[in-house]
Structure 1
Amino acid sequence: MKKLALAALVAVVPFAQAFDDKDEAIAYRQSVFSLVATHFGEMGAMVKGDKAFDAAAFQYRADSLAALSKMPLEGFLYPGADQGDTKAKAAVWENTDEFKKRLAKFQSDAADLAKSAQSGDLGSIKPAFMKAAKNCKACHSDFKNR
């Protein structure tokens, strides 16, 4: 019971910004997105048939993606995080409400993917994967420089 109470408390108490400067904030969000890309890449290889489908591995990747989807915003909100070694477009800060809306959609899509993965059936998983991937690509088009 104590563990459950602690977990609930941790889930609702907002974390203080953990960065000493803008470069740490930028590195943080880039690290999160690097992990997102790794998990998406592994799942994508299974969806495309380039890699054998492993339901347990896919579930792990989908659950990891769902957790990671909640993390990047903090790295964008730090003062000055729009300056420095970043590929983020100015649109992130010029249209923050839209950016936050897109991140919320990513979180929702990632949660749906993790739920779909519970079926263990690639045919059922593929539409949820494609939806999440499409949303990611659209966000990159609007908010990331290549």
Structure 2
Amino acid sequence: MKKLVLATLVLVAPLAQAFDNKDEAIHYRQSVFTLVAAQFGEMGAMVKGEKPFDAKEFQYRAESLAALSKMPLEGFLYPGSDKGGTKAKAAVWQKTDEFKAKLAHFQKDATNLAEAAQSGDLSTIKPAFMATAKNCKACHSEFKNR
């Protein structure tokens, strides 16, 4: 499982730096966030009891989220990517250090969630999931237009 996630990062990371224009950078980061949302959706359904808890699936999704959490920043660094088809607020570029710190906190939480998921125990996983989701939402509040 970890090998698959690492292989994906090795293949995708160089592409992330190869943006030809701001629209590609915006599309890249939006694609990453779409995948992040998909992982959260499935894990959230398990945590809420809307879907049967499957420890292996949860672990896969948590590890995927941890890998994905490291990817979005590159899409925000491309010059001019603050304009156009984006929902990112100007605060991303006005408060860059704060944005990077929140993203780093999200990465740490996502890594902690992946580690908790290795236990296969929902009572261990749930607090880590809730912390990760809370941190993710906090960033949306300040840095994303609805």
Please, what TM-score do these two structures have when normalized by structure 1? 0.90
Alignment correspondent of 2:104: 104
- Shift in Å, 1:102: 0.5
Please, what TM-score do these two structures have when normalized by structure 2? 0.90
- Shift in Å, 1:130: 0.2
Residues 1-146 of structure 1: pairs in structure 2 closer than 5 A: 15=14, 17-146=17-146
- Shift in Å, 1:128: 0.2
- Shift in Å, 1:18: 1.2
- Identify unmatched segments of 5+ residues in structure 1: 1-6
CA displacement, residues 99-130 of structure 1 (integer Å, 9 cap, x when unaligned): 00001001000000000000000011000000
- Identify unmatched segments of 5+ residues in structure 2: 1-5
Separation in 2 of the partners of 1:17 and 1:133?
27
Separation in 2 of the partners of 1:81 and 1:112?
30
Q: Which runs of 4+ in 1 moved over 6 A?
A: none
3-state SS of the aligned residue for 1:120?
coil
- Shift in Å, 1:55: 0.1
- What amino acid is the match of 2:67? A
Separation in 2 of the partners of 1:24 and 1:106?
24
Alignment correspondent of 1:3: none
Across the aligned residues of Structure 1 and Structure 2, the Cα RMSD in angstroms comes to 1.6
CA displacement, residues 82-115 of structure 1 (integer Å, 9 cap, x when unaligned): 0000000000000000000001001000000000
Aligned residue-pair number: 136
Separation in 1 of the partners of 2:69 and 2:25?
16
- What amino acid is the match of 2:41? G
- Shift in Å, 1:17: 1.8
- What amino acid is the match of 2:81? A
Instruction: Choose 1 or 2 for highest CA Rg.
Output: 1
